[in-house]
A and B are shown apart, each in its own frame.
Chain A
Amino acid sequence: MANVTGANSLFLDTARRLSRNRLAVAGGAVILVLAVVSVFPTFFSGADPSRIDTANMLASPSSVHPLGTDKLGRDVLSRMIHGAHISLQVGFISMGIATAIGLLMGLCAGYYGGWADAVISRFIDVMLCFPSFFLILSVIAFLGPSIVNIMVVIGLTGWMGVARLVRAETLSLKERDFVAAARAQGAGDGRIIFRHILPNALAPVLVSATLGVAGAILVESGLSFLGIGVQPPTPSWGNILTAGKDNIESAWWLSLYPGLAILVTVLGYNLLGEGIQEAVDPRLKAR
């Protein structure tokens, strides 16, 4: 019982420190609003994002179209909201894949050591040699730019940081007394890894996952900018921006809003991630 309250107060402590960090709270608020909007895109967007209206092409922002229309007369606000759904989906699923692989690799390398560690660590080093954008582009070039391919490839090229973090964390955790106690009670490797080590290694993983969502959104927008990201007519922030850049002189709103949306979202995730890091590790904050 003492343990449980101990864990709770540690958690509350962290949450309190986090709530005092105004930048992190602002980041969290942005993320929350976006999450709600993007989970129910049809509820929040009035107009149909793919309804073409040739009478209203490149209309400037008005009460009917708060963010104007694009070159096919489609409502930009509505496309932005549906784009949020796609962009965040790419961000979360890619991050999920990367985190899962990174956790497994890191736990294996750190816990078993020896050959497993040597092989996994060299593998990480080799993967880090490839500029990830080059690797992603190559794979997309071979497999084609479907949204599933994009999420998988971003995930497969983004796990190395998590793996290194978890490996280092596991190396120190496995020497702790509570692991020895668990082993003395007859717990197997699997139980020790997933019940005792993993929960204690989660804090830094949470930070890197938060930053990972932001990174994946940026990568997808970059791919879309090059025309090999999420393919139209499915809207993503990246491809709305890309489509808008041809009309940047006459219809600035097409390029401004998606860029701002990416900027604010990525900023939100980064500020929250940094905030969590400082809250989890108060040493960083202490003078």
Chain B
Amino acid sequence: MLRYILRRVLLMPVMLLGISVISFGVMHLAPGGPVSLASDLNPKVTAEARARLNAYYGLDKPLHVQYVNWLSRVGRFDFGDSFAPDGRKVWHKIRERIPVTLSINLLSEAIIFLVAVPLGLYAALRRGSFFDRASTVGVFVGFAMPGFWLALLLMILFGVKLGWLPISGLVSLEYDSLSFAGKMGDRARHLVLPVFVGAFSGLAGLSRFMRSNMLETIRQDYIATARAKGLSERVVLWRHAMRNALLPVITILGLSVPGLLGGSVIMESIFAIPGLGQLFFQGVMSRDYPLILAELVLTAFLTLLGNLLADVGYAVADPRIRTGN
């Protein structure tokens, strides 16, 4: 297992290098370089800010020198100053928003896991039944539904018509005057809609995967062997089939990180949640290049980390990898 994990870790620098090259390339897509585009399209960027950008990237130097310079700064989490009027360090703006986006996405993942796994397993065991067909159609509808549309409809229904749930922000205006329990409740109520919408669209992938994986597992020889030994159907399904069918879910959850992060742009814009997605969208709209680049690099890094954790988790959970080399 050590060798397996070591290989993954050794690949990390290569991946990081690739991520940095692509991000750097995206920035230089702008015709004439980032600074001239900034001056053309964003009159709000002052000459002084442009000079700072020039100094930061060393835009008068050859491309490979620029890249190495930029990389050595990024390695120290120095992403330069934001173009926004506050002119704060980009890293500081991002850092304070990471917990918000991360906690909402982790909650969504937890709900996806708790709902999709039993759903897929049950559909596989009752294959062809009414439940199987209904849940198939249900998850496909969830997958096809644009998240922002669902969010809009739910906001109208629960927020405006019924008035049950708040529709924007993380806390109410009177948050500070609430008791501790009141504060927790207030936060929870604000999270209901965003987390539900985030989880709903992710259900389809995992539950379909779970279903086909369970169907595949039930056909394996060791299941036939378990039945032939005379084990009860319950033991065969729970001890032998399910544990094997569950394994790849670890990988799938890891792979769903970029999708959730990407989805947070729209979700956080709709629900006015001050997270990474909202910050990124604001950056895109105001052509805040240092911010855009920093988020691009950091979300890719987060994804890489998520995948690595999933790989390690898989290695720990699967005895075939754990005990082999």
Identify the A interface with B (CB < 8 A).
Answer: 23, 122-123, 125-135, 137-143, 214, 218, 221-222, 225-226, 228, 238, 241, 245, 248-249, 255, 259, 262-267, 270-271, 274, 284, 287
Identify B15's interface contact among A23, A129, A140, A262, CB under 8 A. A129
> Are B299 and A248 in touch, CB under 8 angstroms?
no
The one of A131, A245, A284 in contact with B212, judged by C-beta atoms closer than 8 angstroms, is A284
Which chain B residue has the least Cβ–Cβ distance from A132? B262
Judge if B145 is at the interface, Cβ distance under 8 Å.
Answer: yes
Whether the pair B280, A137 counts as a contact (CB closer than 8 A) is: yes
User: What 6 A-B pairs come out closest when comparing CB atoms?
Assistant: A133-B262, A126-B18, A131-B262, A266-B144, A259-B149, A131-B258
Which of B11, B145, B295 has the most chain A CB atoms inside 10 A of its CB?
A: B145
Interfacial residues, chain B to chain A (CB-CB below 8 A)? 11, 14-15, 18-19, 22, 26-27, 29-30, 34, 37, 127, 136-137, 140-141, 143-149, 152-153, 156, 160, 212, 215, 258-259, 261-263, 265-266, 269, 280-281, 283-285, 287, 292-293, 295-296, 299-301, 303-304, 307
Contact B156 A248 (CB under 8 A): yes
CB distance from B183 to the nearest CB of A (A): 31
Q: Are B280 and A134 in contact (CB under 8 A)?
A: yes
Hey, which chain A residues are within 8 Å of B18, CB to CB? 122-123, 125-126, 129
Minimum CB–CB distance for B208 against chain A, Å: 8
13 cross-chain CB contacts under 8 A: A23-B136, A129-B307, A131-B300, A132-B258, A132-B262, A133-B265, A137-B284, A141-B287, A143-B29, A221-B148, A226-B281, A259-B153, A263-B144
Instruction: Determine whether the beta carbon of B296 is less than 8 Å from that of A138.
Output: yes
Cross-chain contact B144 with A130 (CB below 8 angstroms)? no
Contact A270 B303 (CB under 8 A): no
Residues of B near A267 (CB, < 8 A) are: 140-141, 144
Shortest beta-carbon distance, B302 to chain A, in Å? Answer: 9
Q: Known contacts A126-B22, A228-B284: does B261 contact A134 (CB below 8 Å)?
A: yes
B261 touches A131 (CB 8 A): yes
CB pair A142–B144 under 8 Å, yes or no, is: no
Contact of A122 among B15, B127, B137 (CB under 8 A): B15
Please determine whether A142 and B299 come into contact, CB atoms closer than 8 angstroms.
Answer: no
Give chain B residues whose Cβ lies under 8 Å from the Cβ of A214. 144
CB distance from A150 to the nearest CB of B (A): 14
Contacts of B300 on A, CB cut-off 8 Å?
A: 126, 129-131
- Considering only CB atoms, which chain A residue lies closest to B150 in the complex? A259
| Inter-chain contact A249/B160, CB cutoff 8 Å | yes
Q: A132 CA to B265 CA in the complex, in Å?
A: 11
Would B146 and A226 count as touching, CB distance under 8 A? no
CA distance A67 to B266 in the complex (A): 27
Indicate if the CB atoms of A130 and B296 lie closer than 8 Å: yes
* Measured CA separation A141–B290 after assembly (Å): 12
Contact of B284 with A138 in the complex, beta carbons under 8 Å: yes
Minimum distance in angstroms from A258 CB to a CB of chain B? 8
Chain A residues in 8 Å Cβ range of B304: 129
- A118, B284: Cα distance in complex, Å: 34
